[in-house]
Structure 1
Amino acid sequence: MAELLVIRHGQASFGQDNYDVLSELGHRQAEAVGALLREINWVPDRLVTGTLKRQRDTLSSMGFSKGEEHSGFNEYDFGDLLNARFKGDIPDLVSGDRRAHFRTLRETVFEWQDAAFEGASETYKAFCERVEAAQKFATDTDAKRVLVISSGGVIGQMTSVALGADKRHMMNLNLQIKNTAMTRFMFSGPSFSLHEFNATPHFMSQARSELLSYS
């Protein structure tokens, strides 16, 4: 069996005009998970990221060279989903209050899954299909250790499918995933199974516990 280690990107710039930029904390988180992989001698045979800057920069700050890219590992566009759901009139509270933001994120994704609004640039069905294509791309290889840098929604979707769970479980998992958390799958041919979810051993020491974040 081969391993697919999928790591969520480091903390991005929540609340800023350009979210797709790692914060200083995000770079430190990436450095910490990269250092852990070297400590345990986990050397990837293949590197893959989405095309988002925060994903590519996480891989770089982990200490790895540029990997292959597949856009199927990109996050869904929450801003686009909000615009479609609220028809461009997004409540101010959504962007100004963290609790309201994540409550609205959950509700919006559930409605997106149910095709309850129109106008989004990507349907939930299309999202599922591209994540599946990205997974197949990453595992169609002779490599025994594949490292992927992706995002919470994608990891939630991959995990939910591997568990055979219903579609709502994708979002419940998405909201749990910590920055630079490691989710590990085992694969061999068509066989694909979850081995470990949302692990952050690189934050378990007292010195590094302050690096933990969810957004």
Structure 2
Amino acid sequence: MSAIYLFRHGQAGPRHRYDTLSELGERQARLLGERLAAQGLHFDAVVAGGLERQQRTAAQVQGAYRDAGVAFPDITVDQQWNEFDLGAVYQQVAEPLSRTDPEFARLWAEMVRDMENEHAGVHRLHNYCDVEVVRAWVTKTHPYDGESWDSFRARIEQALHALQQRGGPGRKVAVFTSATPVGISVGKTLGLDETQIWRLAGVTYNSSMTSLRLGEDGELRLFSFNAVPHLENPEMWSFR
């Protein structure tokens, strides 16, 4: 039975520098690699999305393997596994949304102010503004000329299907990606609706592992979700 292991990237930087790993994120990724190498989990192929935080997480895991003397394949970059661009959605949707939602307008102004402090909680918490901007993007309430939710979801499902098609007996593939692609992949496997997919994405820990296995019937099955056994100290758990 072949398997696909989906890894969310380690904790990212603050909102204005999100496509990096924080110091905690670097440590999370390194501990993930050390744990997997100690378990002797071998991969036949390793894929990372095109984002810096995804590739850096993969590189930390690769480094831990090689330091332990355990083989680890070269990392293949596949932009299909990129997260959607929340920053771009904010740029186009926040302004018109603030004109129709007074609560959003108030909280968005506070958020912009608080973002000037790199240590402010706004950088580490999902908030009302995030929820409403994403909702507007998904429902097409306001114009947005970037990638739509439907196109994004189809992109991830196509990337998952491509791996599924290349599966073989005992083949193991690691994918370093982000929370929403993990949610979409699990949703596709379990036949979940849009609301359930977003709930999964919202509770996916940084550097967590989700595993899918391909049965003899060619169908994927969920074997684990959101596992963080490498983070023994709960203080290292993070969502953002």
TM-score by length of 2: 0.80
Structure-1 residue corresponding to 2:85: 77
Q: For structure 1, which segment, 56-65 or 101-110, has the greater mean C-alpha deviation from structure 2 after superposition?
A: 101-110
Q: Distance in 2 between matches of 1:100 and 1:42?
A: 33
SS in 1 for 2:3: strand
Alignment of 1:4-153 (within 5 A): 4-15=4-15, 17-62=16-61, 63=63, 64=72, 66-87=74-95, 91-95=108-112, 96=114, 98=122, 101-141=126-166, 142=168, 144-153=171-180
The CA deviation at 1:66 is 4.1
SS in 1 for 2:230: helix
The CA deviation at 1:111 is 2.6
CA contact under 8 A between 1:93 and 1:101: conserved in structure 2? no
List per-residue Cα deviations over 1:43-68 (Å, max 9, x = no partner): 11110010011111101111256411
CA contact under 8 A between 2:157 and 2:188: conserved in structure 1? no
Q: 2:159 matched to 1:159? A: no
The structure-2 alpha-carbon separation of the partners of 1:109 and 1:116, relative to structure 1 and needing over 3 Å to count, comes to same
Q: Distance in 2 between matches of 1:190 and 1:93?
A: 50
CA contact under 8 A between 2:48 and 2:76: conserved in structure 1? yes
CA contact under 8 A between 2:137 and 2:144: conserved in structure 1? no
Alignment RMSD, CA only?
A: 2.1
SS in 1 for 2:84: coil
Stretches of structure 1 lacking an aligned partner (at least 5 in a row) = none
Q: Distance in 1 between matches of 2:178 and 2:161?
A: 17
The structure-2 alpha-carbon separation of the partners of 1:66 and 1:18, relative to structure 1 and needing over 3 Å to count, comes to farther
Stretches of structure 2 lacking an aligned partner (at least 5 in a row) = 64-71, 99-104, 115-120
Q: Distance in 2 between matches of 1:77 and 1:115?
A: 15
Percent identity reads 28
SS in 2 for 1:12: coil
TM-score by length of 1: 0.89
Q: For structure 1, which segment, 102-111 or 157-166, has the greater mean C-alpha deviation from structure 2 after superposition?
A: 102-111
CA contact under 8 A between 1:94 and 1:101: conserved in structure 2? no
AA at the equivalent of 2:19:
D
Q: For structure 1, which segment, 185-194 or 156-165, has the greater mean C-alpha deviation from structure 2 after superposition?
A: 185-194
The structure with the largest alpha-carbon Rg is 2
Q: Distance in 1 between matches of 2:198 and 2:129?
A: 12
CA contact under 8 A between 1:156 and 1:174: conserved in structure 2? yes
CA contact under 8 A between 1:4 and 1:148: conserved in structure 2? yes
Q: Distance in 2 between matches of 1:201 and 1:9?
A: 15
The structure-2 alpha-carbon separation of the partners of 1:120 and 1:177, relative to structure 1 and needing over 3 Å to count, comes to farther
AA at the equivalent of 1:22:
L
SS in 1 for 2:58: helix
More helix by share: 2
